[in-house]
Amino acid sequence: MLTDVPLYVRGDLSERSTPNVPAMFMIAGHDVVQNTIRQANGTGFPDWSDADLLAEAGDGPWTARLRRHQSWYREIVLGLPPGDHDGRPVASLLPQWAVDQDPTLNFVVSDEVHAAVLQRLRLRGEGGIVEPNRLFHNLLSSQPLCFNLFGMLKWYPKELALGLSKLLDHDVDEIVDLRIEYAPRISGYRSGSAFDCYIEYRTGQGEQGFLGIETKYSEDLRRQKVSTNPAYEELIRAQPQIFRSEALQAVRQPASCQVIYNCALALKLSEDRGFEEGLARCLVLSCEADDEAQSTIRSVRACLEEPDDLLISFSYERFLDALPFSNDLEAWKEHVRVRYLDLGASS
């Protein structure tokens, strides 16, 4: 049930509300019992405006900025106190009791997104790691962000195809497959790496292509753990027509290793399944203001002989803008912007 009310509240549904719908929506005032609406904070914990007090040890400026925004979203939009980790409150976590009552809290609420989450949790053999605590409780995590984007678009393949056609500047006629947290099985190659999202498509000429997508949000890339798997360096050495010598150094660096892993995985998948040349690509999505992510992409592209054929990047803002107008998607797009991108709201 959607209205023109811009924010979200939580409370017991009134008898006038629409039955059998998720517990958080854009709603009008008569849809909840007013005295059940949870008031923000009241816990003695610093509110969302105390950025320094909300920060966790090791937070860089970008992570601290997003932690503050997600604290604002939790407190002002959801009306919830912080969750806890090892007995202490953390601004960017949802409390256990609230998730028990409403497991959709960490998602841009729609039946489609929740269905995609439950469907992926039931799957076996996809590879990758879907960690329930992170998925349902962690507001800062890029995994629920990935579900909030592609768990919705999974059900709107025509709109997704049109948006990708605009972004990629070539014909994407049909979405053939979309999987979240997917590590494809490749003969003779065991890396353990996975795409946050995998989209396989067909052009109007019948050519097959795919995008292996990395969704970046609050993660400090400099703190990533470098893999000791020799498969990556072996592939780099075996394909000098793709990787420059600098790639061997980049794959050993925390900030750039995951993007290199994705490039290696995409190359092997394309080779194994015979995708069209130039239509097997890695895509990194990040916030427009995330300078660290942009710097990482530039450094990895400098390690590739023909970067446009393998590695591309777009901002979430540009990605959403590329999607065509759809009555079914406009409220969802606005909620995504409020939840993740409109950092001015919490300034």
Using one digit for the tens of pLDDT, what is the confidence trace for 260-279?
999 999 999 999 999 988 89
The CA–CA distances, whole Å, from 314 to 255, 270, 287, 317, 318 equal 18, 22, 8, 8, 6
Q: Are 158 and 234 in contact (CB under 8 A)?
A: no
Out of 10-19, 158-167, 248-257, least confident range: 10-19
Q: What's residue 66's pLDDT?
A: 94
Tokens of 179: 């999987």
Share of the chain above pLDDT 70, in %: 86
Q: Are 234 and 247 in contact (CB under 8 A)?
A: no
DSSP string, 124-191: -S--S---HHHHHHBTT-HHHHHIIIIIHHTT-HHHHHHHHHHHHTS---EEEEEEEEE---BTTB--
Q: What's residue 27's pLDDT?
A: 36
Asked whether residue 346 carries a pLDDT value surpassing 50, the answer given is: yes
- Give the Cα separation of 340 and 316 in Å (integer): 9
Q: Work out the average pLDDT over 87-92.
A: 91
Q: Work out the average pLDDT over 239-254.
A: 93
Confidence category of residue 162, pLDDT binned at 50, 70, 90: very high
Confidence category of residue 43, pLDDT binned at 50, 70, 90: low
**Per-residue pLDDT tens digits for 287-307:** 999 999 999 999 999 999 988
Q: Work out the average pLDDT over 37-50.
A: 62
Q: Are 269 and 210 in contact (CB under 8 A)?
A: yes
Beta strand 311-315 with 280-286: parallel, antiparallel or unpaired?
parallel
List of long-range contacts for 339-342, beta carbons under 8 Å, 24+ apart: 339/73, 339/77, 339/108, 339/148, 340/145, 340/148, 340/217, 340/287, 340/316, 341/287, 341/288, 341/316, 341/317
Confidence category of residue 156, pLDDT binned at 50, 70, 90: very high
Q: What's residue 345's pLDDT?
A: 78
Tokens of 146: 């990935």
DSSP string, 286-324: E-TT-HHHHHHHHHHHTTBSSGGGTEEEEEHHHHHHHSP
Confidence category of residue 125, pLDDT binned at 50, 70, 90: low
Q: What's residue 44's pLDDT?
A: 65
- Give the Cα separation of 287 and 139 in Å (integer): 15
**Per-residue pLDDT tens digits for 91-100:** 999 999 999 9
Q: Count of residues for the chain?
A: 347
- Give the Cα separation of 201 and 177 in Å (integer): 7
Residue type at position 231? A
